[in-house]
Homo-oligomer: A and B are copies of this chain.
Amino acid sequence: MWAQREITLEPRPRGIHLVTRETERGLPELAGIAIGLLHLQLLHTSAALALNENASPDVRADLASWFDRAVPEDAGLWRHTLEGPDDMPAHVKSVLAGPSLTLPIADGDLALGTWQGIYLCEFRDRGGPRTMVATIHGEA
């Protein structure tokens, strides 16, 4: 069984955001899968998807702080500056965190750890809505 949908995540400010519920809500087909995989592909090059701690907002803030220090806007490295100072660092961060996730499905649900949640890593100041292609396949 295969299904594919586009899910558009609402605009968020720069930072790391938990989107597990918003993602699952867009995927009613999950409930019918006994064993399978969900693939999420963000269609953007200045944001990313990640899987990490779903409880403390401090973890998400600290992760954003680390990215900002490791890939600074004033690095003295950037030739690609015409889309604003936050653009080229956002591309680098997107490569580091990655624009897609593949997640196991078991008994009609995502089979994640107790503390795992899906992060939208918004690396632009004003990234706008972010679209992902969700592909589900598995056996009923």
Contact = CB atoms under 8 A, between A and B. Distances in A.
Contacts of A61: 79-80
A31 interface: no
Contacts of A139: 2
A100 to B, nearest CB: 6
Contacts of A102: 39, 41, 100, 102
A96 to B, nearest CB: 6
A91 interface: yes
A135 B37 contact: yes
Contact of A37 (B65, B106, B115, B137): B137
Identical subunits present: 3
Contacts of A43: 112-114, 116
A113 B2 contact: no
A107 to B, nearest CB: 10
26 contacts: A2-B35, A4-B35, A4-B104, A4-B106, A35-B135, A36-B135, A37-B39, A41-B111, A43-B114, A44-B116, A50-B95, A50-B98, A51-B100, A52-B94, A56-B80, A61-B80, A62-B77, A62-B78, A62-B80, A63-B92, A63-B95, A95-B97, A96-B97, A100-B103, A106-B133, A113-B131
